[in-house]
Amino acid sequence: MAAPSSLNSLNPQQQAAVLHCDGPLLVLAGAGSGKTRVIVEKIAHLVSSGRYPARRIAAITFTNKSAKEMRERVARRIRGDGAEGLTVCTFHALGLRMLQIDHAKVGLRRGFSVFDSDDCMAQFRDLMPGAKPDAVQAMAGLVSRAKNGGLSPEEAKAAARSTRELEAAALYARYQARLEAFNAVDFDDLIRLPVQLLETDEDARLGWRERIGYLLVDECQDTNDAQYRLLKALAGPAGNFTCVGDDDQSIYAWRGANPENLSQLGQDYPDLRVVKLEQNYRCSNRVLRAANALIANNPHEHPKTLWSAQPDGERIRVWECRDAAHEAERVAAEIDFLHTAKQIPWSDFCVLFRSNFQSRALEKALQMIRVPYHLSGGTAFLERAEVKDALSWLRLVANPDDDAAFLRAVQSPRREVGATTLARLAELARHAGMPMARAIESISLLKQLPARAANALGGFADILRGLRADAARLPAADLVRALNERSGLLAALQAQCRNEAQFAMRRGNLDELAEWFEGPRGAGGAGELAAQLALLTHADRDEGGNQVRLMSMHAAKGLEFRCVFVIGVAEGTLPHEASIDEGSLDEERRLLYVGITRAKERLWLSYPREAQKWGSRLRLEPSRFLDELPAAELQRDGADPAADAERKQERASAGFAAIQALLND
């Protein structure tokens, strides 16, 4: 059951959003306005009021991390088994669930595979022999764009406006046929196929609307066209949904997001109610006044003005630096000073940048003065080689038709089967009309291969048979552990590692993978879980501990820090050169807005005067966005000599105190 209502602790706008349960609702939630709390309270209210049982409520997020956080908060909010059956997941995870239930209706067989980006690119390379990597990437991007628009190969062909798009549509058709042969889908299909199902099959549509009586969608401004169509198809004409979003934080157009979907809601649902959350619980008022002034330069259908009950706080520092190296040194020195003089933990600092290359100078400057840092965007857990190897085996155990998994598993670890033999095997399998994993069960086919390779493949088939038998009786986690041993992965890993410490670390990754399948996660069997894991972007990725965080502004959305530095606020960098050329500055402005609103207490904006490019030094201009910020909220270098002198004296005193402390030790 839901705990006693905590509506009284919500502000009036938050209460209004929670209590509106009949018909469509758009919650325009400004940065730091408590949107996750509103969603959690709304779920609790829907359950406690008896309007919907938890099993008929679905909350959709954009990241696994957000879904995990929301599940945990709901579990704390709703007591006992009141939340049992509640769906909190990403769009792709919901799509996967729909396909696992209705696979036959979209032409899939039970146990289908989900191809990851590497698997997909391997198919595109094979379908485009001789093409350069950039060309393959570009065509794969066009196919993905068509899928994200909810288009079938035939619809993509009809919509093509150029020779290149026609070529992409033809490639899309061949690629999709290849996926069908493998009984596989890619990430884009996890949305496209459910949309196709709901829009063309009335029984399926009514069935899913019965399953999901109330829909909540977080970060609605980040939906692409296919995701929006899925939302509409599930919600139906009644429109019992709550969409939460912020048009000012729409920064993912480059990956297909369509911020116009927020406006489209009003057209598709004329009785749409709009509630604005404008009270910010994160930032100082000074930071909010600057953010409001900046974003006011963008067009708005529903303008918002963020405000806070927090004090004004310090003025925003604007630094002009000689070059990127000088900028990085100033940032590093300021962090080191504040950590020492103000006892601010390292993890309360974050440095944001527009492009990843900007981190290099920062890393060097922080290393020089031994400031610990964590650069976000390292190799994700599920991208580690040994983990991907184990998952390919698991996929193959669950789905013998998965040729992509076969090709990785049969070479992990390496056995006496080379590329020439595999190409010959693929040809034989194709002529026999069977997947490669089933072809190696055929003695007559194996006889057509070199004896040593045939023996190796026969041994591989024996291991697979044993693991499939295990899959029928073992819990999923134990199956993964057995697989790691019997496949030879662990032995090969040990042989590769230089020392025991390295082996222990990499073996730990395989042990951790097995743990993913423990408990309720493993209830659906290893095959379904392998598909689920293909969706993960490592929700448990290292968060950095007590270290300064370095990250792109795109990666920072949803996070907050006491002290934030935004570097490289110069023309050509922020706004990016391409957006200036294209005259598309609105998203770049939104990007800086996101960066500014990460700061809880202190904010620095800096830019270099010069940059090195193609062997020569270029003069840079400060970003036009700096002129859009209210001068009263800023403290520029040299503009306030008294404040600068005070700051210099503070640092000198801190330096003297540090020397004294050393002498007294």
Active site residues: 35-36, 218-219, 249, 598
Contact 544, 346 (CB under 8 A): no
Contact 30, 248 (CB under 8 A): yes
Task: Say which residue the tokens 């899959």 belong to.
Answer: 471
- The answer to whether the peptide bond before residue 237 is cis (omega within 30 degrees of 0) is no
Contact 314, 290 (CB under 8 A): no
Closest CA to 300 of 246, 241, 257: 246
- Amino acid at residue number 228: Y
Q: Is 192 left (phi over 0), alpha (psi -120 to 50) or beta?
A: alpha
- Amino acid at residue number 450: P
- Alpha-helix runs per DSSP H in 375-488: 385-398, 403-409, 419-432, 436-439, 443-446, 451-473, 476-486
Residues, the chain, total?
665
CA gap 57, 53 in Å, rounded: 7
Q: Is the dihedral of CA 33, 36, 38, 39 positive or negative?
A: positive
How far CA 552 is from CA of 24, 330, 543, 557, 565, in Å, comes to 34, 19, 15, 9, 11
Contact 564, 291 (CB under 8 A): no
Other beta carbons within 10 Å of 368: 11
Contact 398, 111 (CB under 8 A): yes
**Reduced 3-state DSSP string for 131-168:** CCHHHHHHHHHHHHHHHHCCCCHHHHHHHCCCHHHHHH
- Residue 455: φ, ψ to 5°: -65, -40
Contact 106, 196 (CB under 8 A): yes
Q: Name 194's Cβ contacts closer than 8 Å, sequence gap at least 6.
A: 94, 95, 98, 99, 230
Question: What 3-state class would DSSP assign to 215?
Answer: strand
Q: Is 604 left (phi over 0), alpha (psi -120 to 50) or beta?
A: beta
